[in-house]
Structure 1
Amino acid sequence: MQHAIHPAYGPVVFRDKAADFAFLTRSTLGSDRTVEWEDGRTYPVVDVEISSASHPFHTGTARVLDAAGRVERFEWRYGREAA
């Protein structure tokens, strides 16, 4: 591996403000803002819009679309082509 061409890889806190959820992991992302973590150390913090704590798929609030109803509605609007 060549030296001095790769970004710095270190601990970063990702914070989802909507769900009041944060987790510490390693990343090449950096930030000027910092936060004091549970272990007493200070880490860079990156705010994210969606995480596993707020995503509808992971929280169980995802809606299931009625695919059959959508097809029928399309055929009603635009008609079915004659074969």
Structure 2
Amino acid sequence: MKSGIHPEYREVCFLDLSTGSKIIISSTAQTRETIKLDDGREVPLYKVETSAESHPFYTGQQKSVDTLGGRVEKFRQKFAKATGKA
């Protein structure tokens, strides 16, 4: 293998925001936050909206999560004002 062209992997904790589950795997993901684990280690933290713990395909349950924070409703209100339709 060529030297110097492969990324450096490190342990990263992926936190599912909808369920609170943590998955620790090797990754090259860039993070700004860290988390202290139960065993005392401090690893980089990467927050995700959906993982295998919360995705409907894997869980078999349909769950509606409004991750847009009302952006669609804000757009509809703005569009109604612009066209004069209330």
Q: TM-score per shorter chain, which class?
A: 0.5 to 0.7
Aligned residue for 2:12?
12
Quote the sequence identity (%). 39
For each residue in 1:44-80, what CA deviation from the matched residue of structure 2 results, as whole angstroms up to 9, or x when unmatched? 0111111011101122114xxxxxxxxxxxxxxxxxx
Aligned residue for 1:35?
35
Structure 1 segments of 4+ aligned residues over 4 angstroms from their partners:
none
Aligned residue for 1:46?
46
CA distance in 2, matches of 1:17, 1:42: 19
Aligned residue for 2:83?
none
Aligned residue for 1:22?
22
For the pair shown, the structure with the greater C-alpha radius of gyration is 1
TM-score, normalisation: structure 2: 0.64
Matching residue's letter, 2:32: D
Deviation of the 1:34 alpha carbon: 0.3
Deviation of the 1:28 alpha carbon: 1.3
- How many residue pairs get aligned? The number is 62
CA distance in 2, matches of 1:20, 1:36: 15
Is the Cα contact below 8 Å between 1:12 and 1:30 reproduced in 2?
no
Matching residue's letter, 1:48: V
Matching residue's letter, 1:33: E
CA distance in 2, matches of 1:2, 1:16: 36
CA distance in 1, matches of 2:47, 2:61: 23
